[in-house]
């Protein structure tokens, strides 16, 4: 079992809709979670982080964490074509400073 798992997609949503990206993790000791956005041919860019159970909102982005279910999600409201990218979920695993990445979910926002 991979430590951080994501559906590779592509996830297609119409412009203006809510995009929901999901991530599960296997290490119950993981405390910190991160979402990166990666445009084609570019490097990953940090967009959100969450440490506590519940929701964290930043503009059109909401990160959700459920430690009991070992589940992290990223919601993008009012999706725009410029949101089309691959979204990487990451978590500190192994009780240390090692950041483990999922393989990413490709999001396509269609006009």
Partner 1 sequence: DVKVTQSSRYLVKRTGEKVFLECVQDMDHENMFWYRQDPGLGLRLIYFSYDVKMKEKGDIPEGYSVSREKKERFSLILESASTNQTSMYLCANQGVNQPQHFGDGTRLSIL
Residues making contact with partner 1 (CB under 8 A): 8, 32, 34, 41-46, 49, 88, 90, 92, 97, 99, 101-104
Q: How far is the CB of 3 from partner 1 (least distance, A)?
A: 11
First CA to last CA distance, the chain: 37
Give min distance, CB of 99 to partner 1, in A: 6
44 or 85: whose CB is closer to partner 1? 44
Cβ proximity to partner 1: between 18 and 46 the closer is: 46
For partner 1, the closer CB: 2 or 77: 2
CB-nearer residue toward partner 1: 8 or 80: 8
The dihedral over CA atoms of 33, 55, 16, 43, expressed in degrees to the nearest 10, equals: -20
Task: Dump strand ranges (E) for the chain.
Answer: 4-5, 11-14, 19-25, 33-38, 45-50, 54-58, 61-66, 71-76, 85-93, 98-101, 105-110
Closest CB 87 distance from partner 1, rounded Å: 12
**Is the CB of residue 11 less than 8 Å from the CB of residue 21?**
yes
């Amino acid at each position: 079992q991979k430590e951080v798992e994501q559906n590779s997609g592509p996830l297609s949503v119409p412009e203006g809709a809510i995009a929901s990206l999901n991530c599960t993790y296997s290490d119950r000791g993981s405390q910190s979670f991160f979402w990166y956005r990666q445009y084609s041919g570019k490097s990953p860019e940090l967009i959100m982080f969450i440490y506590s159970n519940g929701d964290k909102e930043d503009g059109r982005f909401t990160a959700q964490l459920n430690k009991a279910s070992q589940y992290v999600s990223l919601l993008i409201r009012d999706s725009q074509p410029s949101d089309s990218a691959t979204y990487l979920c990451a978590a500190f695993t192994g009780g240390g400073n090692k950041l483990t990445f999922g393989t990413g979910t490709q999001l396509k926002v269609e006009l």
